[in-house]
Structures are given as structure tokens and as C-alpha cells.
Copies of this chain bind each other. A is one copy, B any other.
Amino acid sequence: MPQSESYLARKISAFVDLAPRELSYLADLEAKPIRVKRGKELVHEGETGQRAYIFQSGWACSFKSLPDGDRQIISFPIPGDCIGLRSMLLRTSDHSLAAVTDAQVIPVEAARMKQLFSEFPYLGTALLWATSRDEAMIVEHLVSLGRRNAIERTAHFILELHDRLQLVGLAENNEFDCPLNQDSFADALGLSAIHVNRVLRQLRTRKLATVKAHKITIHDMSALKNLASYASPKESLVIVR
């Protein structure tokens, strides 16, 4: 998308007002995205030499692999997300990061990030806030895996995707593009792909949501939220300038 404002700026601006200087610094930072092919592994688990990534277009997934070949997907970064801010403090990455679709990303070196925090502390705080929000979603994901059954878990996941995409303007009329196949769903939800299929069919049959052909449509938002016991995140940044 050709745009005057990045997805990240849009996301942050939904909650706090950035000064023109901050916006232009951000625009400068995001000026030269790197193109990444679908399937490319940006970060490999255990790798050293951290950098953060700001996603401008495309989807990715962060995951951990187990010895038996299984993998658990932690989250799906989407445009506007800033990945790896936390693990910049750790010597080695605790998870892998791969592009799900062709994507454009901004790699941000640790030194650059330090500069951002010292020169634009409020912008830095806003970034931290945005990533804290993502961490909170990881916790919610953990709750899903621990205490929700397959259909609740799937419903919750769909609603979460919807809210995240809506925040950056990539969802409209309870509908959004989604490049994830049923294997990806399975690896995120801790289910088998086959069972994901059955669950999706059930959601379709019950006229709650349709997942197919790279597009997800939510037919009955309130029933779906009810099924998943889903509460929309309504946080806002608490630190004042």
C-alpha cells in the first residue's frame, strides 16, 4: 500500500498523539524496507546478534520447534507490528521468525533502537507499549491453549486476528484477508490440521464464521465472542508525556 503514514504510526496514533518530529523520525526509520520472500526465515531460534523488525506488509509467524519436528506458533506478526524488541536484551533469540507471505520489513539494529530511546523517549515508550500489548495477547493465547477447547480456541483466535487487523485498517465489515492455511492454524492452536478442518466446518455450519480461500468472514460477531468468551482489548498508554 502506498501511504503517507505507516501501519505502525497508524496503530500508535490510534491511542496516543505523536508529535510531528516523532512521526517524521518514524517515517525516516521506515523509509527503506527490505523485501522478503514467502517462507524466508528471518530469525532462527538460538541465533545471536539480535535486531528488531518492523513489519510494513505481509504476514509472518514466530514459533518454536520441538525435537520431534512439531512446532508451536507463538504469534503471527502483521503490518504495523514491531518484533523482537524484548529479545534484543537477550544474547540469543528464543524463537524463530519466518515470513508467511512475501513481506516488507524494516530491520532495526540495537544501536539504532538505543538512539531512538534516548532521542525520542516518548516514542520509545509508545513502542514499548505497543509491544506490551502484543505480549498481553501471547498470554491470552496461553490461556486458550490451557483452558479452551478446540472450537472456543479457534473462535478466539479469529477474533484476535480481526481486532489486530482492524486496528491498522486491514479489516472491514467483519471480513479480512488471511493467508494462513489449516496447517498454520493447527500449529498456532495446538491442534491437528484435520481437527482444525472439522472445527472450521462447524463454525461455518453454525453460521458464526467462514474461513476459506485466504479470506475470513465473521457472520455473527456477538455469538462468536460469546462462544470464545472474548473481550476486546481496550488498553491505552498510561504514561503521559
Chain A residues close to B by CB (< 8 Å) = 50, 64, 66-68, 70-72, 74, 86-92, 94-95, 110, 114, 125, 128-129, 132-133, 135-136, 138-143, 145-148, 189-190, 229, 234-239
Q: Which residues of B contact A132 (CB under 8 A)?
A: 86-87, 89-90
For the complex, give the distance between the alpha carbons of A24 and B3 in Å.
51
Nearest CB to that of A71 among chain B residues?
B147
Stoichiometry, as copies per complex, reads 2
A229 to B66, CA, bound (A): 8
- Contacts A64-B139, A138-B139, A139-B94 hold; do A238 and B88 have CB atoms under 8 A apart? yes
A89 CB to closest chain B CB (Å) equals 5
Contact of B125 with A72 in the complex, beta carbons under 8 Å? no
| Contact between B89 and A139, CB atoms less than 8 A apart | no
Partner of A72 from B67, B91, B143, B235 at Cβ < 8 Å: B143
Interface pair A90/B238, CB less than 8 Å apart: yes
Closest to A238 in B: B91
Q: Which residues of B contact A235 (CB under 8 A)?
A: 90-92, 94
Contact residue among B89, B128, B139, B239 (Cβ-Cβ distance under 8 Å from A95): B139
Task: Pick the 9 closest A-B CB pairs, nearest first.
Answer: A146-B190, A145-B145, A72-B146, A72-B143, A90-B235, A89-B129, A142-B142, A94-B136, A72-B147
A70 vs B235: C-alpha distance when bound (angstroms): 24
Q: How far is the CA of A86 from the CA of B236 in the complex (A)?
A: 13
Partner of A138, one of B90, B114, B133, B142: B142
Q: Is the CB of B72 within 8 A of A142?
A: yes
Q: Is B190 a contact of A145 with CB atoms below 8 Å? A: yes
B-chain residues with CB within 8 Å of residue A50 when the two chains form the complex = 238
Give the most central of A141, A143, A145: most B CB within 10 Å. Answer: A143
> Measured between alpha carbons, how far is A235 from B36 in the docked complex, in Å?
28
Enumerate chain B residues within 8 angstroms of A110, measured Cβ to Cβ. 238-239
